[in-house]
Amino acid sequence: MARKKAEQLNKKAEQLAPHTEDGADQFLTTNQGLRINDNQNSLKAGERGPSLLEDFILREKITHFDHERIPERIVHARGAGAYGYFQVYESLSDYTRAGFLTDPARRTPVFVRFSTVAGSRGSTDLARDVRGFAVKFYTEEGNYDLVGNNVPVFFIQDAMKFPDFVHAVKPEPHNEIPQAASAHDTFWDFISLAPESMHMIMWVMSDRAIPRSYRMMEGFGVHTFRLINAAGKGCFVKFHWKPLLGVHSVTWEEAQLISGKDPDFHRRDLWNAIESGNYPEYELGIQIVQEEDEHNFPFDLLDPTKIIPEEVVPVKRIGKMVLNRNPDNFFAETEQVAFHPGHLVPGIDFTNDPLLQGRLFSYLDTQLSRLGSPNFHEIPVNRAISPVHNNQRDGHMRQTINRGGTSYEPNTLGAGCPFQAGTADRGFSSYAEKIDAHKVRGRSSGFFDHFSQAALFYYSQSEAEKRHLINALCFELGKVTITDIRLRMLGLLSQVNKDLAAAVAEALGLAVPAQPEHPVNRIIPADGAPEQFQPHTVEQPVEKSEALSMANTIKDTVRSRQVAFLVADGVLSMEITEMKEALLRAGAQVELIAPHLGTVKASTGSGFEADESLLGAASVLFDAVYIPGGTDSTNTLQQHPEALRFVSEAYRHCKAIAVSGDGAAVLKAAGVPAAEAPGILLSGPPKAFITAIAQHRFWERER
Ligand code: HDD
């Protein structure tokens, strides 16, 4: 029902329909439409004889199978996608002439793909990593792709270094170890020689790199882009996605456990949320900087390792994206979707950010090897909903049948068609930026403050977030086997924050080098660089930014949160029903976990069906735990090692736990110091539990 409604509202869904196949109630056929009468046996010379070469049905089937795989993405190979729509709240015509940003009546279909960066297609969702957040807007003026991440900055400033960076973070080339992890020598060797990465390192060592859900993370366009209005006036813009469920993460221990219990955790979460009508929602935000203010910041707007603090330029929320439909086929849609920062619409343009400039080459190029043909735009998920007419022809797997005798322009034989579009006809024209410069291989001197914003990020974190960040660095650098690399990292960290460096040094059993060796000599051109190109720090306009800490995020909803009820035979029925109803009303989801599957006998009534057994379930897959009373039930749970582990893990991971009556005995048996502990509710109405779950975590329990 929900799917039907979403489809009706969406031009993209209409366009996909004729390409969508459904075998229900249909005969099995070959790819040529021939009905097959035996799909179990190959054609043989006698029942015990050899197979015959003439078996075209067998050959077609096996040939297709042999070619099922395509190269995975060189980065962002692991991902999950969904369809939905975007709608702007009010016209942004002061800034841009992009139709989807100026017409509040328009619902623009979107396809979004979330991803990790380093791991292979089959790797865990819970790697410590940046998450990709790529949005394809199927606008009426052509496809617009906002290919961003859940972190607002990047590791490097120039695309020239991207292959080196990716080689360093990917599994090491001699033994292909480790998978989907940055905790290894080559990554930290590279980072220790690239001080420009320090701001990004703060983000990826923070809990932002282990999100609770794709639905609970921010997205950023990262680069400064440009908006252009109908009068041709340009301004700079940074794009933000703000999730309406708030920004939340799991702990590193949880992430590692989830990787074993359910490596598809994020993918499953996204899928289930959409199937159950809990549509992920994000507001699009923009930070606008007028051209005349370009140089009024202590950093360069073109430097992708810098943010504009929200306290300096507020984020204006301009519209909402809702994801309301899962793809029908993972390969056809999520795997074959092709994003490209160069897919632009009139009213939006690039800046000279040197990272962005390199990306403009890379994404088109990579689709040619990944999808195998310049006709990848004809794959249904990639097709624009606006008409496509040009003189590009032929190539592998061409699907369009172009009519007419001309495929060149200008022409008279085809009456000059297809013809160019002027601005009034929504033709794209590049922003006429004035450029008068020497051709150089170099960077602006404004790019060399590598530490101030890293320090700003660290300083803006809550105590718990700082602790997690330090622990992450200790974990990662602990996996490094070369002492020199660790020392270089301590040198760099000490330039971000002395306490941070000291804490990491202590865990590594090292001392912070007194004179941190400046590794910059390794990254500047062989001819050396003058003083202003050496790393330096510049005072920032703010000391602290609230927006950088997840502690300040929205904590007012339990919508789609997963709550485990631990129950056994003899459980008090009333205590289940009352709590369950309250949680469901608040939008949470409940699963009954019992020592055995099937019916759990209750104190009264016919009992309850268990959703999972304690053997199959795991606390890390839930947001909160409830233990209803009932002497037999709680006695059984107290004797059950998996029940005790469930509870003690939930406690260690700082989740809300509620008990009723003698449920408290289970906490005691699990070694949970219940009295007075924040987030542990020994009695009280369901409302108190709901408020506690909405808090996400009680980090104060960590100490
Ligand atoms: Fe990239 C994929 C995001 C820098 C080259 N990138 C890719 C995806 C995301 C990003 C979300 C996955 C898209 C999908 O789901 O299909 N990339 C970023 C961001 C960057 C960035 C936010 C910096 C701000 N990327 C970057 C650089 C280069 C690339 C500097 C090369 C010069 N990225 C690629 C690629 C990929 C890609 C090789 C792999 C698969 C693909 O493009 O389609 O072209």
Catalytic site includes residue 149: yes
The protein residue whose alpha carbon is closest to atom 30 in ligand 1 is 159
> For residues 100 and 106, is the Cβ–Cβ distance under 8 A?
yes
For residue 147, report the distance from its CA to the centre of ligand 1, in Å.
7
Q: What average pLDDT does range 37-53 have in this prediction?
A: 97
The response to whether residue 342 sits with its C-beta less than 6 Å from ligand 1 reads no
Q: What average pLDDT does range 209-236 have in this prediction?
A: 98
Q: Is 325 annotated as a binding residue?
A: no
Residue 644 — φ and ψ, nearest 5°? -65, -40
Confidence at residue 515, expressed as pLDDT on a 0 to 100 scale? 66
Alpha-carbon distance 438 to 659, whole Å? Answer: 71
pLDDT band at 6 (very low <50, low <70, confident <90, very high): low
Establish if 254 belongs to a structural domain: yes
Establish if 656 belongs to a structural domain: yes
87 plus 224 within the same structural domain = yes
In this structure, which amino acid lies at residue 311? E
* Most ligand 1 atoms within 8 A of CB, residue of 70, 72, 74, 76 to mutate: 76
For residue 75, report the distance from its CA to the centre of ligand 1, in Å.
7
pLDDT tens string 612-655: 999 999 999 999 999 999 999 999 999 999 999 999 999 999 99
For residue 218, report the distance from its CA to the centre of ligand 1, in Å.
17
Domain boundary among 382, 413, 432: 382
pLDDT tens string 291-317: 999 999 999 999 999 999 999 999 999
For residue 392, report the distance from its CA to the centre of ligand 1, in Å.
26
Task: Pick the closest to residue 185 from 195, 174, 196 (CA basis).
Answer: 174
Q: What average pLDDT does range 191-209 have in this prediction?
A: 97
Ligand 1 atom with the shortest distance to the CA of 355: 30
Q: How far is CA 570 from CA 435, 573, 666, 671, in A?
A: 78, 9, 15, 23
Which of the following is catalytic: 10, 143, 149, 382? 149
> For residues 579 and 625, is the Cβ–Cβ distance under 8 A?
no
Statement: residue 521 has pLDDT above 50: no
pLDDT tens string 244-274: 999 999 999 999 999 999 999 999 999 999 9
More confident residue, 536 or 43: 43
Domain that holds residue 599: 555-702
**What tokens does 225 get?**
């882009």
Q: Is 225 annotated as a binding residue?
A: no
Statement: residue 559 has pLDDT above 90: yes
pLDDT tens string 390-419: 999 999 999 999 999 999 999 999 999 999
62 plus 141 within the same structural domain = no
**What tokens does 259 get?**
């990787």
Q: What's the CATH number where 62 sits?
A: 4.10.91.20
Establish if 488 belongs to a structural domain: no
In this structure, which amino acid lies at residue 290? Q
Domain boundary among 382, 404, 423: 382
Helix (H, G, I), strand (E, B) or coil at 429: coil
Query: What pTM was estimated for this model as a whole?
Result: 0.96
Q: Is 226 annotated as a binding residue?
A: no
Number of structural domains, the chain?
3
629 plus 580 within the same structural domain = yes
123 plus 7 within the same structural domain = no
Q: Is 370 annotated as a binding residue?
A: yes
Query: How many CB atoms are closer than 10 A to CB 102?
Result: 19
Name which of 70-84, 470-484, 536-550 the model is least confident about.
536-550
Query: Burial of 29 by CB count in 10 Å (0-12 exposed, 13-18 middle, 19+ buried)?
Result: exposed
pLDDT band at 689 (very low <50, low <70, confident <90, very high): very high
Residue 280 — φ and ψ, nearest 5°? -60, 140
Establish if 522 belongs to a structural domain: no
The response to whether residue 132 sits with its C-beta less than 6 Å from ligand 1 reads yes
Establish if 492 belongs to a structural domain: no
For residue 2, report the distance from its CA to the centre of ligand 1, in Å.
32
The response to whether residue 214 sits with its C-beta less than 6 Å from ligand 1 reads no
Establish if 538 belongs to a structural domain: no
Q: What percent of the chain has pLDDT over 70?
A: 96
224 plus 351 within the same structural domain = yes
Q: What average pLDDT does range 138-165 have in this prediction?
A: 98
> For residues 176 and 167, is the Cβ–Cβ distance under 8 A?
no
Residue 84 — φ and ψ, nearest 5°? 180, -150
Catalytic site includes residue 375: no
Q: What average pLDDT does range 61-68 have in this prediction?
A: 97
Confidence at residue 564, expressed as pLDDT on a 0 to 100 scale? 98
Q: What's the CATH number where 584 sits?
A: 3.40.50.880
Confidence at residue 522, expressed as pLDDT on a 0 to 100 scale? 44
> For residues 148 and 219, is the Cβ–Cβ distance under 8 A?
yes
The protein residue whose alpha carbon is closest to atom 9 in ligand 1 is 132
- Non-local CB neighbours of 426 within 8 Å, separated by 6+ positions: 99, 141, 346
Q: What average pLDDT does range 288-292 have in this prediction?
A: 98
Which of the following is catalytic: 10, 76, 343, 450? 76
Query: How many CB atoms are closer than 10 A to CB 100?
Result: 25
Computed over every residue of the chain, the mean pLDDT equals 95
The protein residue whose alpha carbon is closest to atom 22 in ligand 1 is 148
**What tokens does 344 get?**
């632009």
Confidence at residue 4, expressed as pLDDT on a 0 to 100 scale? 52
Statement: residue 526 has pLDDT above 70: no
> For residues 565 and 701, is the Cβ–Cβ distance under 8 A?
no
567 plus 623 within the same structural domain = yes
pLDDT band at 606 (very low <50, low <70, confident <90, very high): confident
DSSP 183: -
The protein residue whose alpha carbon is closest to atom 4 in ligand 1 is 359
Confidence at residue 1, expressed as pLDDT on a 0 to 100 scale? 45
Task: Pick the closest to residue 669 from 691, 641, 693 (CA basis).
Answer: 641
